[in-house]
Structure 1
Amino acid sequence: MQKPTAIGIAPQLLVPDVVQTAEYYRDVLGFTIIGYAVTPPVYAMVQRDGLQIHFAKAGDFTTNEHHRPSTTDFILWVPEIDAFYNELKASGANIVQEIQLRPYGSREFIVRDCNGYKILIGD
């Protein structure tokens, strides 16, 4: 029998407005909206290059930064980091840390989304 293969993971973020969040990820971060669940929407899904992020409506939520100020909420690896940085900058993304070379050899920058989540982009 062939060993099962995990082919992806979709973080699920709690947000106050799933439509606003999905549209932000589409318009600013270049994702495509897969769809919404329920009317009015309480769940949304976006994708880019086969990667998905899901959003669930929640009145109360906190980001990782609330508990540990120096951390981010999730990491997105993009080998073409300079082109992606330029794309996000042109679309008005809130870049809170410019591209930096880390001691471990990775180049990274950080974007804050419309809900305050910090996304680390690494090459």
Structure 2
Amino acid sequence: MSTKAQLIGIAPQLRVPDVVKTAEYYINVLGFRLIGYFLDPPVYAMVERDGFQIHFGKINGNAAVHTNKVPGSEVTDFVIWVPEIELFYAEVKAAGANIIQDIIHRSYGREFLISDCDGHVIMVGD
């Protein structure tokens, strides 16, 4: 018997102006499936792909979308690891993803960058 609790998942939670629009982007472009919308009109949405979830919470009023983008920084909003990086690249490119950096080789592996419909930058690495 373990003496420590086991983590079984983690999900980024992004604040967005339109949770339906954002969820549909992740479904139609990045291949996620909808777990559900909450309230009517929706103020929260959850999507999943291969056991990994991303959650979206509605921004109230005219508040701006906050990302990790800082001038001169290469920090992204989150990372997705995909061993079959060429297949995923081809899949999302064909679906209309905004690829802001093609696959490049780094000292730690290959990666490419996507900007989602709200300006969040996703690094996809192998």
Could you say what secondary structure the match of 1:25 adopts? helix
Deviations 1:76-103 (A, max 9, x none): 0001100000000100100000001102
Residue in structure 2 matched with residue 61 of structure 1 by the alignment: 65
RMSD value over aligned CA atoms? 1.3
Alignment equivalent of 1:96, drawn from 100, 116, 120 = 100
Amino acid paired to 2:76: T
CA distance in 2, matches of 1:113, 1:46: 14
Residue in structure 1 matched with residue 90 of structure 2 by the alignment: 86
CA distance in 1, matches of 2:71, 2:31: 29
Residue in structure 2 matched with residue 36 of structure 1 by the alignment: 37
Could you say what secondary structure the match of 2:119 adopts? coil
Q: What displacement does 1:62 show? A: 1.4
Deviations 1:26-59 (A, max 9, x none): 0001000110111100000000000000000003
Q: What displacement does 1:8 show? A: 1.1
Percent sequence identity is 60
Could you say what secondary structure the match of 1:65 adopts? coil
Runs of 4+ aligned structure 1 residues displaced above 6 Å come to none
Q: What displacement does 1:68 show? A: 6.2
Amino acid paired to 1:93: A
CA distance in 2, matches of 1:68, 1:38: 39
Could you say what secondary structure the match of 1:116 adopts? coil
Establish whether residue 71 from structure 1 lines up as the match of residue 75 from structure 2: yes
5+ unaligned residues in a row in structure 2: which ranges?
A: none
Alignment equivalent of 1:113, drawn from 108, 112, 116 = 116
TM (norm. structure 2) is: 0.92
Structure 2 vs 1, CA of residues 67 and 57 (structure 1 numbering), >3 Å: closer, same or farther?
farther
CA distance in 2, matches of 1:68, 1:12: 24
CA distance in 1, matches of 2:70, 2:13: 18
- Count of residue pairs the alignment pairs up: 122
The answer to whether the 8 Å contact 2:65/2:118 transfers is: no
TM (norm. structure 1) is: 0.94
